[in-house]
Structure 1
């Protein structure tokens, strides 16, 4: 029996070349691979198998808060002053001005001073309070949370434009902090403090980005069902949940968090900041947490998770609250949609399409349900839509 040594050498060369190529690819892509696979596995294991973050409360319980500053020399902590405010937004028409309206939802939209077109699109579509009242029979208050323009040279002109805008619409809530990414936690604190002081009787509080689409008819129906349920609307924090997510350590990332700020390999569970809803009792608990916890964590949805963990509140997953991605456009999706992220320029067209009465006729009946289930499977069970609705949403 003769062995073909030439063939053996060729096989060895191919194996060596293949191994080298794979190693090179791993070395080149290691940072991305480590972030998306290795760090997530390590973080998830740590979060659920090793440590449940019983220590988190004491670690973040520091007297000085990121959103406050010293007043004079006495060390008293005060919040940023309001530049634009509407204290009576949630009050009724009583002559004494002290009667609270029965507000189903207080909806805070996180916006930047320069995003006038986005705010206007929201006012014309899903954020139109008159439409919600007349067509859906629900009392919803929509306000926009703002800081001051980050460019000092443009700040005065921009502030004048914001004052004119607010005079026309009366829906801007602005505090005197610089409106930047690293002040998003300050903006989150603004929302819960404003709710506590000026709209404490609202059944629900929602926080949303200004590039989000909210299917208001579906959201109102969902919230009304919760209110009418036997258990009522208590201990609710619902959205697109991130479980066991790791801090991003890459310095070139927008979401970079250094070890000095957060030394642990996993965040507490939290919902995507693009859009989530809490019940009134949870809003009150988060407000209390912001008074006691160090808010130096500038990623606002993570800070929300820290506050919730401190107060014993856990997030609940809803299949049709979007994460960081945009939901697919299809009438079988609109029938269940609550939120979709990444709509900076197409809010009006999507609103018109998603709220068309004929949308619901497509999914009615046995054949309609079968058809829409099949369509949702094809659309949602693809990796491309992993940051919007999960594959499980196709079967709801």
Structure 2
């Protein structure tokens, strides 16, 4: 038996939660029923009629896409026109469409990390932060014989990360007291008798987004029937999350060489670039999609070159005047996130057939 769509949605949103999306972005389930059984998933960058036909041939009744299938307000559903025909086909074949857009751009290991990784950027940071995760301190009191098990369970669930260090905790020995009342089934001690137990106060840092996951892991690993733990909100700034990435190439190259590297890394027929072809560049900013309007963020991050799609004429002029090189590989290079989405979903839903689309949805060709 297959799973319900809500489980597929939970798997996507555990990785790219809606709170990571920019305001008013069109994300989430756009077509269909969240309770529909998942008989197969087709992953694509865009939802076109050819992609829907592919899903029908494959028997996939769910499509996970990056770009919204409903982006502008729909004023009519004329089935003699392409958009209306597309919606009709989706509904007629009971195909659900789920969208992860700027939340997938922002997410760790999402669109922008995939693009940076393919280009070989090192020491990457967020280019344009728009979210700072809220931090909390979680404290739990654990009997000594279960200390390691609880610590590891919490850290494996994501607690205790500070920068690139994991399992960051603080531990203090002490004595816990409790008196089991009638109806209890204590792990240690007996009903009606005050118990004193050697315990360890275990405390660590979590982000608000993983709070429920860490607490579940802690409770599952803890031996007590009733677990004593505290949560404290912190004023510390959490990790920045946002659009784009900025990092360094392993070695400096000139702009023309980097343009060739971009063509090779993203397997495209050509790029446009702005700047002196012989200029040496090493610090690179990148943003999937149409990021031209954010070129000032690349300047602020002291990038030598900014890689993004759909750069217009006046933006190119302005960036050139400001001393920033540009490379435009097109919007469609975002397709490289499709294999990553498949990988994540297969890991989370091993019994579901997850298939990457083979349809080329790029409307542009080179002469």
- TM category, shorter: under 0.3
Q: Higher helix fraction: Structure 1 or Structure 2?
A: 1
Q: Higher strand fraction: Structure 1 or Structure 2?
A: 2
Normalised to the residue count of structure 2, the TM-score between the two structures is: 0.21
Normalised to the residue count of structure 1, the TM-score between the two structures is: 0.20
